[in-house]
Amino acid sequence: MTDTLVPAQSLLSPADDAGSPKRLFIKTYGCQMNVYDSERMADVLRPLGYATTDTAEGADFVILNTCHIREKAAEKVYSELGKLREMKEDRAASGRGMTIAVAGCVAQAEGEEIMRRQPAVDLVVGPQAYHQLPELLTRTARARGERIGADFAPNDKFDALPTQRGGTSVAAFLTVQEGCDKFCTFCVVPYTRGAEWSRPVAAVLAEARELAARGVREVTLLGQNVNAYDGEGADGKPSSLARLVYALADIPGLDRIRYTTSHPNDMSDDLIAAHGELPQLMPYLHLPVQTGSDRLLRLMNRKHGRQKYFDLIDRIREARPDIALSGDFIVGFPGETDRDFEDTMDLVRRVRYASAFSFLYSPRPGTPAATMGAQVPDAVARPRLHALQALLLEQQAAFNAAQGGKTFEVLFEKKGRERRQAIGRSPYLQSVHMEDADHLIGQIVPVFIASGEQNSLTGQLPGHHHQSGSRPQAESRRAASDRTP
Ligand code: SAH
Ligand code: SF4
Ligand code: F3S
């Protein structure tokens, strides 16, 4: 049986009783925008009496917020659904219901197929329809059918989401732009997220003020092409991302601003200048190039060459010499030769990245590259990926090591595993581990960097240098891994 066992009434009443809210588990895959969307889904459902938990076990409502970018990412969803189905059956046996929803980019791309392949799924909701969740839930509870919300109307979404955001973190994501018009030949995003659309400046500022009032010190502006931002300003005309960033910098308490992901073709002069002028704008830039081969850049429809990328990097470093650069690379794009790959290695050696993500090309249904001839066999692509990742890890270690001996401000975000240890972020986005620092969580303080390791930095309060015996916790590898950004 696939009908949910929870009657509509109980799904929509605030809570069964004050003491037992309904439990909501959201599992998030993919990019930061999905992380943001998951938080907002929790916000929409909170007034209906749903409180989030961190396991599917015992949850009344489970949402998988999915990613379609590579085949592996999409397939994970189906195996997870298999497990959830068993849980749902166990719960049904003891007379309790579990509603299962699939949200995000897989939902958008293959909604019908999900319903067909996994009948335990109660509803499918695309990235622009989260505000419809309460309504979709009622419909699910009443009858089967009509459970797919997958239209592209991002303005409705943002207008309808609650203005109050939950969460207690000192660093937050804020979506300012969605969608993509670039149509890189390998990529599903223009199909799953729709056309580029920017939120109005006033809406972004209002959300940012609310975050600052709640104690958020650092905000990361999100967009698939965030630097193509052109939201309506107070004068009714489109505003650039740079202008938005200047306006955000005026909000008291918002001390750090970041943005991601940028496209090289939209890196405007005013944004580059802002990196030189605005102390709140952090010295970190994720600027994917995908390949160092001009021939492949053309086949990928990236619409720029390697020289343009080099020139851009020069101008950015002129404005902000210490900026940490990051990127994304695809290895094994159709037709990639040894020579093309060598061009990528050469580009990486010239640019010197602080961190970067690299991926094996994954053919995606419906994209032009999937049907290009000369798909590169795994046996050829994999050793290339490993060589690239080794180089990127070496650059990352060198960048981190070079921070040793410096003093800079760190925003402490959370407790570490060691007693009284705190973990924070450097301006360059590395994790900073510091002993006896848990009282500093939520604060931005100057920290002396005793050393830089592969994946993190070890900090000490200035003037309190001491030889710390314990090693920082090994962190999951942020850079150069074959994972979703
Ligand atoms: N908007 C961003 C990136 C979005 S997707 C940009 O334009 O750069 C994040 C990264 O996933 C991409 O930069 C790319 O490196 C990788 N990616 C996208 N499609 C892929 C595919 N089919 N196979 C492998 N990696 C892919
Ligand atoms: Fe995908 Fe980014 Fe290209 Fe858009 S610009 S198609 S999101 S890789
Ligand atoms: Fe994945 Fe969609 Fe983000 S495909 S990377 S979750 S925009």
Give the angle 225-231-232 at the CA atoms, nearest 5°: 170
Ligand 1 site, residue 262, Cβ cutoff 6 A: no
Domain ranges of the chain: 8-156, 158-400, 407-480
Instruction: Report residues of the chain scoring pLDDT below 70.
Output: 1-20, 141-156, 160-161, 163-164, 166-168, 464-485
- Ligand 3 atom closest to residue 105's alpha carbon, by position in its atom list: 2
- What's the 208 CA to ligand 2 centre distance in angstroms? 26
- What's the 359 CA to ligand 1 centre distance in angstroms? 8
Write down the H helix ranges in 125-192.
Answer: 133-142, 154-160, 189-192
* Paired tokens of 429: 């986005």
What's the rounded Cα separation, in Å, for the pair 177 and 241?
A: 10
- What's the 69 CA to ligand 1 centre distance in angstroms? 7
What's the rounded Cα separation, in Å, for the pair 483 and 389?
A: 12
- Show the ligand 3 pocket: residues with CB < 6 angstroms: 30-31, 33-34, 67-69, 104-105, 188-189, 192-193, 484
- Residues facing residue 162 across a β-bridge: none
Ligand 2 site, residue 183, Cβ cutoff 6 A: yes
Task: Give the Å distances, CA to CA, from 159 to 93, 135, 204.
Answer: 40, 16, 11
Ligand nearest to the CA of 359: 1
What pTM, to 2 d.p., does this model score? 0.89
Instruction: Give the DSSP H/E element, type plus range, for residue 243.
Output: helix 241-249
Q: Where are the beta strands (DSSP E) in 139-244?
A: 148-149, 171-175, 177-178, 197-198, 218-222
What is the pLDDT at residue 418?
87
- What's the 404 CA to ligand 3 centre distance in angstroms? 35
Contact 262, 225 (CB under 8 A): yes
DSSP state of 440: G
Task: Phi first, then psi: give them for residue 101, nearest 5 degrees.
Answer: -120, 145
Name the 3-class secondary structure at 451: strand
Q: Say which CATH superfamily domain 8-156 falls into.
A: Methylthiotransferase, N-terminal domain (3.40.50.12160)
CATH architecture of 158-400: Alpha-Beta Horseshoe (3.80)
DSSP state of 354: S
- What's the 439 CA to ligand 3 centre distance in angstroms? 36
DSSP state of 480: S
Contact 230, 269 (CB under 8 A): no
Write the residue with the smallest CA distance to atom 1 of ligand 3.
67
* Paired tokens of 271: 């944004």
Task: Phi first, then psi: give them for residue 34, nearest 5 degrees.
Answer: -65, -35
Ligand nearest to the CA of 104: 3
- Ligand 2 atom closest to residue 183's alpha carbon, by position in its atom list: 6
For residue 263, how many other CB atoms are within 10 A of its CB? 21
Fold of 407-480: OB fold (Dihydrolipoamide Acetyltransferase, E2P) (2.40.50)
Got the DSSP string for 64-117? EEE--SSHHHHHHHHHHHHHHHHHHHHHHHTT---EEEEEHHHHHHHHHHHHHH
Residue 17, burial from CB neighbour count under 10 angstroms (0-12, 13-18, 19+): exposed
- What's the 80 CA to ligand 2 centre distance in angstroms? 27
What is the pLDDT at residue 169?
87
Ligand nearest to the CA of 261: 1
- What's the 448 CA to ligand 1 centre distance in angstroms? 36
What is the pLDDT at residue 38?
96
